[in-house]
Amino acid sequence: MISSNNCIEHEAVTNFREYLRIPSVHPNIDYSKCVEFILRQAQSLSLPSNVYYMAPGKPIVIITWTGQKPELPSILLNSHMDVVPVYPDKWTYKPFSAHKDINGDIYARGAQDMKCIGIQYLEAIRKYRREKLVFNRTIHVSFVPDEEIGGFFGMRIFVKSPEFLALNVGFALDEGMPSTDNSFTLFYGERTCWHLFIKCMGTPGHGSLLHDNTAGEKLRYIIDKFMDWRDCEKLRLKNSDLGPGDVTSVNLTIIEGGCQINVVPPEFTVYFDVRLAVEVNCDIMENVIKQWCKEAGEGVILEFTEKGCHVEPTKLNDENLYWVALKNQFDKMNLKFKKSIFPGSTDSIFIRELGIPAIGFSPINNTPIRLHDHNEFLNEVTFLKGLDIYYNLIKSLALV
């Protein structure tokens, strides 16, 4: 522990704040300072580490604590090093200063998403090592790049590598979301992410004439179909106990086309961000959208920039011994929790795609959700309580 703000600061909090001060922010991240910091933590734990590069400048750091029975499937504790961009003028304190105010609130980009969790993993292991505990299962702690931009050169490609296969992962923990009330949320699956655009081509001409077969008419038809779909999902969400991850989200994000107000353009392009609920059949829904394009008229083309496939959620039943261990620990700690489908996207989906069970969990409650928002913060007491929660959870998983 060290002295900070006229009081004694917990070593874990000091490490957390040091990590937060590394501006691993998009775009064009230099991950070298993160890697140096993580390797230094591994050294302080007297644990071996490896750095893998699935692409230049995209390091994946693995810290390994080998269990007494390394042949057993291992536990993977995953976090990502990157954080989303900031608007510094919108922040009360500098976003990479890790400023701690009089209430113990620590302000920095990554405070909630998700540098806190990477440090909590390591600090839980530090406590085990100091207490000379041993477990049968091997524990791997992974720090990956580029999660915030799809993980293309991070977990998405790493899971297909022989290096990942050698980890012999049986179960994984990854990030979740904070909760504004006293409960916690355990995320056992994710929706299917589709990023698509539809190009509508038609008759160009002078803006004073009523041309037939214009791109604008086709664009309206397509937008109406997607907005009607969106309205239906909003009603489902409003008139039920469903959460945001339980319905399909449909959002129009970009419209392109036109050059001058009195010129009817030859084409318009509209972009949509769609996250399909887990029960939606991807093939059927794609055919529905193709039918909309056909109905809109000739020259209407559907293309995907991202076309995720359906990934089965992790089963939460007695057959999943890892789930049983987690649930028992939550009950022992007398912590309320909810089970949910994650509304966004995390690296968990690439792990589940291999058939490996994974749970997303952030031990943060009674806290405003500031992921990707201005003035992202985490209170140091909440952070330390989360460390204690992980101490019990990870131990229970390693003993399965």
**Would you say the C-alpha torsion 130, 135, 138, 143 has a positive or negative sign?**
negative
Tell me how far apart the alpha carbons of residues 146 and 155 are, in angstroms, rounded to a whole number. 8
Degrees, nearest 5: CA angle 371-376-382: 95
Q: Which of 123, 147, 148, 190 is catalytic?
A: 147
H-type helices in 151-245, by residue range?
155-158, 162-165, 215-238
* Phi and psi angles of residue 172, each rounded to the nearest 5 degrees, phi first: -135, 140
- Identify which of 238, 226, 233, 267 has the alpha carbon closest to the alpha carbon of residue 248: 233
The answer to whether residues 115 and 41 touch, using CB atoms and an 8 Å cutoff, is no
Measured between alpha carbons, how far is 150 from 310 in angstroms, rounded to an integer?
16
Is 147 assigned a catalytic role?
yes
Q: What angle do CA 141, 35, 162 make, to 5 degrees?
A: 55
82 is a catalytic site residue: yes
Distance of alpha carbon 7 from alpha carbon 218, whole angstroms:
65
Single out the residue of 20, 10, 5, 126 nearest to residue 384, CA to CA: 10
| Number of other CB atoms surrounding residue 176 within 10 Å | 22
Distance between CA atoms of residues 188 and 311, nearest Å: 11
C-alpha 392/C-alpha 130 separation (Å) is 15
Do you know the residue count of the chain?
400
Helix pair angle (321-332, 380-398), 10° resolution: 140
Catalytic site residues?
82, 147
